[in-house]
């Protein structure tokens, strides 16, 4: 629904605002990030880390998961989004997802008004 870049002094990552239907009237809104499955140096044998030309290569798949890159220059990052923070609510409780978005800074995003409109339309009876 929405995407923002976050950073610290040593790394940068993307966070996604997502909405998930749990049942007929129950929903989850959350902040999602790409799954990290471990250090490339701990998981991948050294002889598989380099091409025949000696260039560093990360695997396309590892442990049955598609790898989209390295996070923090070391951790295998999959294409699977996982919730890092979330709240469950009923369709009639619009204040809960809005409070979640406000408290996590999502309302400061330039695209939030259109995202919020989409959420309201999805949750409308």
Q: Backbone phi, then psi, for 38, in 5-degree steps?
A: 140, 170
Per 3-state DSSP, the chain is made up of helix, strand and coil in percentages (nearest 5) of 25, 45, 30
What are the tokens at 71?
């996070």
Domain boundaries defined on the chain: 2-123
Q: Cβ atoms within 10 A of the Cβ of 43, count?
A: 14
Query: In angstroms, rounded to a whole number, what is the distance separating the alpha carbons of residues 123 and 41?
Result: 44
pLDDT in tens, the chain (125 residues): 677 776 666 567 789 999 999 999 999 999 999 999 999 999 999 989 999 899 999 999 999 999 999 988 899 999 999 998 999 999 999 999 999 999 999 999 999 999 999 999 999 87
């Amino acid at each position: 629904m929405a995407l923002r870049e976050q950073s610290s002094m040593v790394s940068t990552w993307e966070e996604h605002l997502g909405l998930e239907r749990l049942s007929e009237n129950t929903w989850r809104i959350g902040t999602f990030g790409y799954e990290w499955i471990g250090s490339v140096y701990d998981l991948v044998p050294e002889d598989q880390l380099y091409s025949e030309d000696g260039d560093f290569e990360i695997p396309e798949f590892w442990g049955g998961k598609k790898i989209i890159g390295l996070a923090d220059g070391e951790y295998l990052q999959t294409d699977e989004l996982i919730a890092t923070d979330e709240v469950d609510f009923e369709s009639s409780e619009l204040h809960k997802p809005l409070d979640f978005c406000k408290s996590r800074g999502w309302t400061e995003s330039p695209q939030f008004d259109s995202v919020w409109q989409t959420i309201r339309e999805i949750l409308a009876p």
